[in-house]
Structure 1
Amino acid sequence: MMYRAYQTFANLHNPIRLFASASERVSNNWFGNFTLNPMQRLAAHYEQISLLGFTHTRPDFKIKEIVDSFGESKRVSEEILHSTHFCNLLRFKKDGIEGQPKILLVAPMSGHFATLLAGTIKTLLKDHEVYLTDWLNIRDIPVSSGEFDFDSYIEHIIQFLQYIGPGTHLMAVCQPTVACLAATAIMSEDKNPCVPASLILMAGPIDVSQSPTKVNELATSKPMSWFEEKLIGIIPDQFGGVGRRVYPGFLQLMAFMSMNPERHADSFKKLYEYRVNGDNEKADVIHDFYEEYFAIMDLSAPFYLETIKKVFMDRDLAIGGLTYQGRLVNPKLIKKTFLLTVEGERDDICGIGQTLAAQDLCSGLPGYMKSHHLQAGVGHYGIFNGKRWDTQIYPVVRNVIQSAL
């Protein structure tokens, strides 16, 4: 009932948004050259209305070229190298460039598409051959394709590393840090030749008992039965995944937005003011962010519920109890993978110390193979996107990868 009610509202609201978007274009095309006129103000209002709604289709990465570390412009194209029912392994190919360090960037399954990492990818492409987990929206995947659970997540990471080949570096942003550490531990125990050369864990919940945030408190304040009864919906019959049990992306996004409602309201106010005053560059930054932020995907119910229990409630990895396909995950067995953990001073989703905990779990690594970076002045999003990511965090990541070659 919950999902069907949301979809009914979305079906009614979408024509209004489409009308507002079309009216915005007409207003700008006819009157956009005149500053401080009524039609420009109207266009700014239309823009706000057209943005206020969720979409369920992955946006474009918009990475057509990059400027590398030598100042040279290189064309970029996307390739699907391998596919499963639930994910495409993408490669961002740069024209005329071969032999750079290979890095698999694992995107979170947290209600957003992998395009949320477009800024991360563009920066990594300066010096690396970048591969990406492009997770598909579970609401479009038929039930006949099977379920997707926590083990499936780890399995995909191992499978993709083996597909790319030896010497690949593994980077996880937020939620997949647990799965990536587990995959590296399992591959290390198996002496798999494709074990990651380095493991970069950024702002992830390795041990949520450290500096708990509102997100952590919510996940531990209710019994599992509450999550199953209140947060799980059924895909309605107008989509390919009809009948699937999911944690709807719109619930996840609304939960995130409720943590900082004043900030989001202020952003929309600034968007209007920038447009009216002709400061389109600043307005475009806000518009592009929310266009991506409001593109949402659902999560498989088994994966979501297991994540709540294993990562947040029971802290399985932190206390040595996480299993993969019945096998105990033992990070102490990681011997050949350089480790970098990255945290943000103002992160209100993964508190300080939660990612750093991986350092102690990987006790089999000598000190020179482990490093940590705490970035001053950034929140969760700023760890992997924006100016400080580009100028202060990325150089640390690049140096660790170079050390592991």
Structure 2
Amino acid sequence: MKSMFSYDLMESARNTNEWLGASARAMASYPVWGLVPHPMFKVMSAWGRVTERSFARMVIKPDWGIRTVVGEDDRDHLVEIETLVDRPFGSLIHFKVVGRDPMPRRVLLVAPMSGHYSTLLRSTVKSLLPDCDVYVTDWHNARDIPVSAGKFDIEDYAAYLVDFMRHLGPDIHVVAVCQPVPITLAATALLAETDPAAQPRTLTLIGGPVDPDAAPTEVTDFGRRLTMGQLEHLAIQRVGFKYAGAGRLVYPGLLQLASFISMNMDRHAQAFSDKITAAAKGEDGERDAHNRFYDEYLSVMDMTAEFYLSTVERIFKNREIAQNTFSVAGHQVDIGKITDVAVHVIEGEKDDISAPGQCLAALGLCTGLPESKKASHVEPGAGHYGIFAGKSWRNNIRPLVLDFFDANSSAPRRRSAAKTAIRAV
């Protein structure tokens, strides 16, 4: 599979489906069919619109779309995105609220690099902006990074996080979501040992595979079933001629998307069937719930082959974080060195990707941390996405996280976390 031909073939299939959708939409919308008022033409046009949009989204990076936030003065303040640190494989960005005084809470959101862009955390950012200065790791699409930029594996990822945390300084609260949870834990431990003055105040870990064997899921079982050789043969391809990263070995985002969809095929099929029916009846909208979700869900990015393979081998197969044997650049990281950073674990009761127990294992590894600086919460009824977006996050988890920040910070509270309205648009 390590060929540019297979990558371009996959891209050609996507492009063809987008073209078929556009063709069906254009043909079925031709005015002459108004003389033959048959519902088939409305269904064909609706199918074409939905298909064209869906396959086009797969190669488009979504916009953050956060334009203003309401301040304490009840005025709309513009939000500008500024890049603080720019590296080949990822940047540290800041959501600067124009005209607002610096907030006592400063939060670094560590976004996943698991096939989707960092904009997957858009609603998380919007919910935190009224009460915090928000910084985000914005990972880049590997297909757009020239081979000359070199490699990027799990150790490089950890090194990026260490640099980002050092850049922001110690008065920062780090929140890691899903995939980066174990690496963020290791990066924090590395800072605790090598540069204690740069440690963050708190570390919030949301639904990540610190110990995949603590509660096996379909995701962890897949990693167990295949050998690394099989995985490399089946999943890794070279970026095609169309992109700046031509020739780079990657795990294509389209393959990751296919695996995500296959886990809940019935639910996705029903969602698209309902959307086509609504579009045929003229009852859909440009920014309805379906489009808002799938515009983000279908937008995927490639990961470097070395990052994907090292994550599977070292996090899932060898369980280096769970066994506290992870190393960066030859230096073994000891998670027990974390003695001052308060650690908060958030899990979802119905999380089918990182099941309850996988993330909780982090607290057991923090042997040097007093119990007073440890906290955990399992959100009843919440799935994987519900623990960082949606109603469960807004109403239950977010207030807990903000209160945890305040309880472990020298900065005074600006306003009550539980009563603050989320007003970012």
| TM-score higher than 0.5 | yes
> Structure 1 residue 81 and structure 2 residue 84: aligned?
yes
Partner letter of residue 231 of structure 1? A
Aligned to 1:363: 367
Of residues 56, 66, 69 in structure 2, which corresponds to 1:66? 69
Relative to structure 1, the CA distance from residue 277 to residue 398 in structure 2 (aligned partners, 3 Å threshold; closer, same or farther) is farther
Q: Does the aligned pair in 2 maintain the 1:104–1:168 contact within 8 Å?
A: yes
Amino acid at match of 1:157: L
Task: Map residues 3-152 of structure 1 onto 2, 5 A cutoff.
Answer: 3-18=7-22, 44-53=46-55, 55-67=58-70, 73-100=76-103, 101-152=105-156
Q: Which residue of 1 aligns with 2:251?
A: 247
Q: Is the 8 A contact 2:203 2:344 kept in 1?
A: yes
Matches within 5 A, 1:306-325: 306-325=310-329
Aligned runs of 1:339-354 on 2, under 5 Å? 339-354=343-358
Q: Secondary structure at the match of 1:319?
A: coil
- Which stretch shows the higher mean deviation, 67-76 or 393-402? 67-76
Q: 1:176 aligns with which of 150, 175, 180?
A: 180
CA distance in 1, matches of 2:26, 2:294: 18
Q: Deviations over 1:339-367 (max 9, x none)?
A: 11111111110011000000111121111
Q: Deviations over 1:259-305 (max 9, x none)?
A: 11011011112323444566547971111111111111111011111
Q: Which moved more, 1:162-171 or 1:196-205?
A: 162-171
Deviation readout 1:210-233 (Å, 9 max, x if unpaired): 110000000111111101111110
* Paired residue secondary structure (1:66): strand
8 Å CA contact 1:69, 1:127 repeated in 2: no
Could you tell me how far apart the structure 1 residues matched to 2:40 and 2:89 are? 48
Gaps of 5+ in 2: 410-425
**CA offset at residue 77 of structure 1?**
1.5
- The 3-state SS of whatever aligns with 1:172 is strand
TM-score, normalised relative to structure 1: 0.92
Q: How has the CA–CA distance of structure 1 residues 23 and 231 changed in structure 2, closer, same or farther, with 3 Å as cutoff?
A: same
Aligned length: 397
Aligned-residue offset at 1:38? 8.2
Amino acid at match of 2:100: I
Secondary structure of 1:316's match?
Answer: coil
Change (3 A) 1:97 1:23: farther
Residue 404 of structure 1: aligned partner? 408
Contact 1:271 1:283 in 2 (8 A): no
The structural deviation recorded for 1:99 is 2.5
Distance 1:67 1:181, change over 3 A: same
SS of alignment partner, residue 318 of structure 1: coil
Gap runs ≥5 in structure 1: 32-36
> Partner letter of residue 88 of structure 1?
S
Tell me, yes or no, if structure 1 residue 375 matches structure 2 residue 369: no
Q: CA RMSD in A?
A: 2.4
Residue 275 of structure 2 contacts residue 290 of structure 2 at CA under 8 Å; is this kept in 1? yes
CA drift of 1:157 comes to: 0.6
Alignment CA distance shift 1:22-1:141 (3 Å): farther
| 1-structure distance, mates of 2:198, 2:75 | 31
**Residue of structure 2 equivalent to 1:34:** none
Deviates more, 1:187-196 or 1:47-56: 47-56
SS of corresponding position for 1:317: coil
User: Per-residue CA shift, 1:235-266, capped at 9, x if unaligned?
Assistant: 12221111111111111111111011011011
CA contact (8 A) 1:120 1:384 kept: yes
User: TM-score, normalized by length of structure 2?
Assistant: 0.88
How big is each residue's C-alpha offset from its partner over 1:374-398, in whole Å with a ceiling of 9 and x where there is no partner? 0111111111111111111111111
**What amino acid is aligned across from residue 51 of structure 1 in structure 2?**
R
Q: Note if contact 2:58-2:254 (Cα within 8 Å) is conserved in structure 1.
A: no
- Three-state SS of the structure 1 residue aligned to 2:158 is helix
Q: C-alpha distance in 1, partners of 2:255/2:226?
A: 16
Q: Distance in 1 between matches of 2:200 and 2:303?
A: 27
Per mean C-alpha deviation after superposition, the further-off stretch among 93-102 and 14-23 is: 14-23
Deviations 1:5-61 (A, max 9, x none): 20222333333345567789x89xxx9xxxxx9886565333321233252231101
**Shift in Å, 1:81:** 1.6
Change (3 A) 1:66 1:350: same
Of 206-215 and 271-280, more deviation after overlay is shown by 271-280
Matched AA of 1:228? E
**What corresponds to 1:223 in structure 2?**
227
Percent of aligned pairs with the same residue?
A: 37
CA distance, structure 1, for counterparts of residue 242 and residue 285 of structure 2: 39
Deviates more, 1:93-102 or 1:206-215: 93-102
